């Protein structure tokens, strides 16, 4: 079936480094993608989203890149901080399809050491 | 304050018990969702309610029964659960049609003994 996956289950970085978390998706009909951050004991928290008519979107210290040719999504975190330590999920959806819901990947655990 | 509130935060129940999970959203959204999160697995969609009507049920066992009395409230009724049903149950809400982020609560950690 269709699925969203992440390349690496864990990523360890030093404080101040830039982090890149990758995600591959398989449903070519998906046109809306979201990155979530989940800290221990909490629900997933929205970070940034991107629609398929864009290939890059920037937020505060985060950038999402979308490569539709290879169905690849990445999240870049600049100057990673200890507070960025969490599990990161990518999710996809076909927008404007009533009754559909997000499909999530397995998640990448980001560990930031100071 | 996440805008989506789930109660209880933790629940321990025996296999013969009946309990309910509650979710309330304060964001004015018109769709609500139940997801199951188990260790080492992606979030699994269980139920979707859009405009208070159930529009998707991903082959969830009948021991899970959702209820959506209005656009702000969602329940998950549990009965005769199995130990493998132990997980974090997450509620989310959004606007429909989709194309905007889902907002999640902090979940109910369910342990079935």
Could you read off the pLDDT of B26-55 as tens digits, one per residue? Answer: 999 999 999 999 987 889 999 999 887 887
Percent of chain A's residues with pLDDT above 90: 69
pLDDT of residue A2: 40
pLDDT of residue B50: 86
The alpha carbon of residue B37 and the mean position of all alpha carbons in its chain are separated, in whole angstroms, by 10
pLDDT of residue A100: 65
Q: Which of A41, A46, A96 minimises the CB distance to B103?
A: A46
pLDDT category at B1 given cuts 50, 70, 90 is low
**Which of A99, A103, A107 to mutate against chain B (most B CBs within 10 Å)?**
A99
Query: Region B77-94: what's the mean pLDDT?
Result: 95
Please confirm whether the linkage preceding A61 is cis (ω < 30° from 0).
no
**Residue B13 pLDDT > 50, yes or no?**
yes
- Cα gap B22→B9, rounded to integer Å: 10
**Residue A31 pLDDT > 50, yes or no?**
yes
Neighbouring residues of A71: CB distance < 8 A, sequence distance ≥ 6: A24, A25, A26, A28
pLDDT of residue A1: 34
């Amino acid at each position: 079936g269709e699925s969203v996956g992440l390349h690496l289950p864990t990523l360890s970085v030093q404080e101040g480094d830039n982090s890149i978390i990758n995600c591959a998706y398989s449903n070519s009909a998906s046109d809306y993608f979201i990155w979530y951050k989940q800290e221990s004991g909490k629900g997933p928290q929205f970070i940034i989203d991107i629609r398929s008519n864009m290939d890059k979107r920037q937020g505060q210290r985060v950038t999402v890149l979308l490569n539709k040719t290879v169905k690849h999504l990445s999240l870049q975190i600049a100057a990673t901080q200890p507070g960025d330590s969490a599990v990161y999920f990518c999710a996809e959806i076909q927008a404007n399809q009533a009754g559909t819901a997000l499909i999530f990947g397995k998640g990448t655990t980001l560990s930031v050491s100071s | 304050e996440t805008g989506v509130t789930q109660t209880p935060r933790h629940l321990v129940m025996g296999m013969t018990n009946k309990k309910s999970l509650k979710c309330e959203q304060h964001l004015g959204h018109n769709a609500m969702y139940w997801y199951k999160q188990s260790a080492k697995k992606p979030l699994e969609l269980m139920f979707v309610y859009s405009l208070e009507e159930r529009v998707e049920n991903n082959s969830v066992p009948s021991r899970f029964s959702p209820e959506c009395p209005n656009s702000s409230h969602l329940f998950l009724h549990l009965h005769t659960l199995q130990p493998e049903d132990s997980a974090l149950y997450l509620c989310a809400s959004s606007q429909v049609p989709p194309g905007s982020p889902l907002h999640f609560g902090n979940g109910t950690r369910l342990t079935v003994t």
